[in-house]
Chains A and B, each alone.
Chain A
Amino acid sequence: MLFVELAVKGLVYGCMYAMMAVGLTLVYGLLRILHIAHAGVFALGAYVAVVVANATGSLALGFALALVVSAIVGVGIYRFAYQPLLGHPPFVPMIVSIGLFIVMQEGFRMVFEAYGISFDNNPYYTSTVAIAGINLNYVEIAMVIASIVLLVGFGLFASLTRAGIGWRATVTDPQMATSFGIDPVRVRYINFLFGSGLAGLAGALVGLLNNYVEPTMGGLVSYKALAIIVLGGLGSVRGTLIASLILGVVESYGAIYLADVFDRDAIGFLFLIIVLMVRPQGLLGRK
């Protein structure tokens, strides 16, 4: 039973990682930038949700604003931090991104103090439901549903709509897409809008799940998300999804069976390093 339960919990975490990692993969696929400041957007989503929900008493409003605010901030990051640096070697925007992440994290610490904030009214935090003998928290279920709905929605957008096809064309060959009348700048805006909104929502959900929002909450998740996009093969959305779920499960087992040797956070990276030594291009990446 423990075996199955660990797998289920691992998949739940995997869904959360997927919501984070897909945004990173979208940015990487389009611009070849390791968008570390994504962690700041994640924490921003959590803060907006908790502050708005506590002020108005409406969790739904908090979540809606978290989604909107983080999406807009994500676009702002592209416009003011990355766009001017597109001609530089890739480590330049990466270091800008690290700087931006540190600034955001310290900014939260200054505005909201170093201590975390809890939701005043969070009935979902404690209530669980048993599915096939496994106790799952309501928020965990919401996380799984949200990630499935949003990612399937994105898949449909990319394959069926005009804008989605334009997006795919730009990822494959920006120059060719431009000559067919697609505006690459608009595609990048859509990219950051969607990816950052997803990260903000993931942050809000994690805040609700732990009933705790703190300045550093984005750090570890986003470092793992970076490991995931590398593991999946940089820029491959499908690889990212698979790698997210695998990492969630590997961590879940590792945290129990390797507890005496490594802590939970090291296991994911250890797994990443081993996989990269065997397949340097990642699980689904092309050489």
Chain B
Amino acid sequence: MSAYIASIVSVIGINMILALGLNIITGFCGQVSLGHAAFYGIGAYTAAYLAKLGAPLPLTLLAGTIMAGAIGIVVGLTSLRVRADFLAVTTMGIGFVFLGFVRKQKWLGGELGISGIPASGLHPVAYAALIVAFALGVIALTLWIKRSWMGFTFDAVADDEDAAPTVGISVSIYKLTAFGIGTALAGLAGGLYVYFARIILPDTFDFVQSIAILTMVVIGGTGSVWGVVAATIGLTLLPEVSRAASDYRLLIFGAMLMLVMRFSPGGLAGLVKRRAAS
């Protein structure tokens, strides 16, 4: 495997972890989040900061995951207060608050971010394999969640928040769980990204990134694990396939978001299901 392919595989793996994490919050539990990149950033900054202090890789990844998950639960508290459209704008706001904070912190490198991050100690191919292993683990985890008791309660919360308590579901606890798991996964992706890129900039974690992650989830089909996996691979490879696709990456993302939602709100997964049914 060449270094080029290893880097593409790494990016696909990281995007997959991000998209599957958001899929738990938005797809399973029905809470629209427009600020997922902030948690990606929290994980990355935590891992990068500790790595610069000399912490070993397993510790930095763990710290990034826990930090993002913990802040994610705090942000999840807002979902108990505000709903639907309010929540979408609030989570978008969290993204801007995170960026605005990081940009002004000298100890986090301000606008210039953190550079000179120590190497992972693994060969790029071995590191790509590590990322893929994590991504496979996340696929297994989300498949398991979907079929577990917790998955059904998420479904109930997504479907009708007011009816869920009548069958004994504590809506708040499951919402917070969804936020906790989803954002922790974003933190893990952030940690993995740190050793892959070895430099992090605030702008990597901006609103556009949040939308890019949302695009993967929506185009794959919100709530469908395999749909999201397929969309992540497709959308990550797209800019690599042709020069034109890379120049107009955002344009293509935007157009796809619009067209998929306009004609098949269930995404690719919805399309496949409809085919199978007819």
- The reply to whether the CB of A142 lies closer than 8 angstroms to some CB of chain B is no
Q: Judging by beta carbons under 8 Å apart, are A100 and B258 in contact?
A: yes
With A81-B262, A90-B84 already in contact, the answer to whether A102 and B211 are too (CB < 8 A) is yes
Q: Are B101 and A100 in contact (CB under 8 A)?
A: no
Which residues between 191 and 249 of chain B lie within 8 Å of chain A, taking CB atoms? 207, 211, 214, 218, 248
Q: Which range holds the interface residue count of chain A?
A: 35 or more
Pick from A28, A106, A272: contact of B90, CB below 8 A: A272
In the bound complex, how far is the Cα of B257 from the Cα of A226, in angstroms? 20
Interface: A262 (CB within 8 A): yes
| CB nearest to A224 among chain B residues | B96
Are A261's CB and B104's CB within 8 A?
A: yes
Across-interface contacts of B214 in A (CB, < 8 A)? 95, 98
B147 at the interface (CB under 8 A from A): no
Q: B96 — which chain A residues lie within 8 A by C-beta?
A: 223, 265-266, 268-269
Q: Is A262 touching B254 in the complex (CB atoms < 8 A)?
A: no
Contact with A280, one of B86, B101, B207, B248 (Cβ below 8 angstroms)? B86
Q: In the complex the two chains form, is B104's CB within 8 Å of A260's CB? A: yes
Chain B residues with Cβ below 8 Å from A230 are: 85-86, 89-90
Contacts of A95 in B (CB 8 A): 214, 218, 257, 261
- Closest CB of chain B to A1's CB: distance in Å? 26
Bound-state Cα–Cα, A263 to B97, Å: 8
Q: Is A101 an interface residue (CB 8 A)?
A: yes
Q: When the two chains form their complex, are residues A269 and B97 in contact, meaning their CB atoms are under 8 A apart?
A: yes
Please measure, in the bound complex, the distance between the C-alpha atom of A100 and the C-alpha atom of B90, giving whole angstroms: 21
- Nearest residue in B to A37 (C-beta to C-beta)? B258
Other-chain contact of A262, B92, B100, B261 (Cβ < 8 Å): B100
Q: Which residue of A34, A88, A102, A227 has the most chain B CB atoms within 10 A of its CB atom?
A: A102
A106 to B86, Cβ gap below 8 A? no
CB of B251 within 8 A of CB of A107, answer yes
- Chain A, 257-287, contact with B by CB distance < 8 Å: what is the 0/1 string? 0011111111111101100110010100000
Q: In the assembly, what is the distance between CA of A94 and CA of B89, in Å?
A: 11
A190 near B: Cβ within 8 Å? no
In the complex, the number of residue pairs spanning A and B with C-beta atoms less than 8 Å apart equals 129
Q: Closest residue of chain B to A264, judged by CB?
A: B100
Residues of B with C-beta under 8 A to A227? 89, 93
Q: Give a binary string over A21-41; 1 marks a CB under 8 Å from any B CB, 0 the rest.
A: 000000010001010000000
The majority secondary structure among interface residues of chain A is helix
Cα(A277)–Cα(B76), bound, Å: 12
Given contacts A90-B85, A92-B265, contact A99 B250 (CB under 8 A): no
Task: Evaluate contact between B250 and A270: CB separation under 8 angstroms.
Answer: no
A100 near B254 with CB under 8 A, answer: yes
Given the interface pairs A34-B89, A95-B218, A276-B86, the reply to whether A266 lies near B251 with Cβ below 8 Å is no
**Complex interface: chain A residues within 8 A of B254 (CB):** 98-103, 105-106
Taking a contact as CB atoms under 8 Å apart, the answer to whether A91 and B100 are in contact is no
Nearest CB on B from A187, distance (A):
21
CB B59 to nearest CB in A, in angstroms, measures 29
Q: What's the minimum C-beta distance from B79 to chain A, rounded to whole angstroms? A: 11
Query: By the criterion CB–CB under 8 Å, are A266 and B101 in contact?
Result: yes
- B99 contacts the other chain (CB 8 A): yes
Chain B residues with CB below 8 A from A266, complex form: 96-97, 99-101
A102-B94 in contact given A263-B100, A273-B78, A276-B78 (Cβ < 8 Å): no
List of A residues within 8 angstroms of B250 by Cβ: 102, 105-106
Task: Enumerate chain B residues within 8 angstroms of A242, measured Cβ to Cβ.
Answer: none
**Complex: chain A residue closest to B263, CB-CB:** A84
Contact residues, A153-194 vs B (CB, 8 A): none
Contacts of A273 in B (CB 8 A): 78, 90, 93-94, 97
Is B253 an interface position by the 8 A CB rule? yes
The list of the 3 closest CB pairs from A to B, nearest first, reads: A266-B100, A102-B254, A99-B257
Listed in ascending order, the chain A residues whose CB lies under 8 Å from chain B are 28, 32, 34, 81, 84-85, 88, 90-96, 98-103, 105-107, 110, 219, 223, 226-227, 230, 234, 259-270, 272-273, 276-277, 280, 282
8 additional A-B pairs beyond A93-B261, A100-B258, A106-B254, beta carbons within 8 Å, are A81-B258, A106-B250, A223-B92, A267-B100, A270-B97, A273-B97, A277-B78, A280-B86
